[in-house]
Amino acid sequence: MRPDPVTNGDFAAALVNHDLPAPAGLHRSGARVARRFAVYRNNVAVSLVDALAAIYPTLQNLLGEEFFRAMAHVYIRDNLPTSPLMFTYGASFPAFVEAFGPARDLPFLGDVARVERAWLDAFHAADRAPLDPLALAGVAPDTLPEIRFEPHPASHLLRLPHAAGTIVGRDRAGLPLDGLDPFQPEAVLITRPTYDVSVTVLTAAASVFIDALMTGGTFEEACDAAESADPGADIAGILTLTLASGAFNGLRLPQRGAAR
């Protein structure tokens, strides 16, 4: 009798779980097939772990290669790729890291992974020319309060309970983390105005200003949010930072006759 056919689910599960035997429905049986399958399984596992290491290099540096790869092997058992594009793999890894028991003494690791994930997403986002700061010069003064900004596809704003933006920024620049308090909350703006991804840690006023614009608020509403967060906020400086960051790629002017 011919053996039962191998289902995709059984085959995929056996590929990443070394505790499972080779699927019984393979066309050949015996130790030789089992050894070949073991080699194939090992290659798949190594490829997935390598992909995670490439996506989350700071996380691996913090944990050490041995610990990181052991953790990644646990992750891949229940998280197979859903796309042939490997840069999309591991989107749920930050949440997994945050809940991973052996790393519970380092609660900031999940936020570090979130910054790294956003970095990769920004790198692969659609290309758009960033907003030219001179575009504001052509806006009539009475219209300026009601303009809205179009977010760049590569822009991400993360509000985190840990200093993950500083950790990633220093690590990727080859700078030491000595003296850094990882438990300081941070707002992190991740953009890609040209070819290089930028990670910027924002002040409280700048973060609510940019957040208001990214979520569809008007320029006036963004200014009000910044002044509420910090009555002494330098709105001109925040606007300069916002435009220089490349976080936006266009303006939307109010329609004539629209009620404020």
Quote the mean pLDDT of the chain: 87
Is there a single domain that holds both residue 54 and residue 168?
A: no
Answer whether 0.85 is exceeded by the pTM. no
Is there a single domain that holds both residue 101 and residue 133?
A: no
pLDDT of residue 195: 86
Is there a single domain that holds both residue 134 and residue 194?
A: yes
Q: Give the HSE-up count for residue 218: Cα atoms under 13 Å, Cβ half-sphere.
A: 12
Is there a single domain that holds both residue 139 and residue 96?
A: no
Among 38-52, 108-122, 221-235, the least confident range: 38-52
Query: Residue 98 pLDDT more than 70?
Result: yes
Per-residue pLDDT band at 166 (split at 50, 70, 90): very high
Task: Express each pLDDT in 49-63 by its tens digit.
Answer: 999 999 999 999 999
Number of domains in the chain: 2
User: Could you identify the residue written with the tokens 């052996």?
Assistant: 102
**Alpha-carbon distance values, 166 to 79, 94, 208, 260 (Å):** 29, 17, 19, 39
Task: Express each pLDDT in 110-156 by its tens digit.
Answer: 999 999 999 999 999 999 999 998 998 889 999 999 999 999 999 99
Q: What is the CATH number of the domain that holds 241?
A: 3.90.930
Element spanning 239, H or E: helix 235-245
Is there a single domain that holds both residue 100 and residue 152?
A: no
40 within a domain of the structure (yes/no) = yes
Is there a single domain that holds both residue 152 and residue 84?
A: no
User: Could you identify the residue written with the tokens 């704003």?
Assistant: 157
pLDDT of residue 4: 46
What would the two tokens of residue 114 be? 């979130």
Nearest to 151 by CA among 193, 185, 183: 193
Mean pLDDT across 3-19: 52
**Alpha-carbon distance values, 188 to 122, 127, 201, 218 (Å):** 13, 21, 5, 21
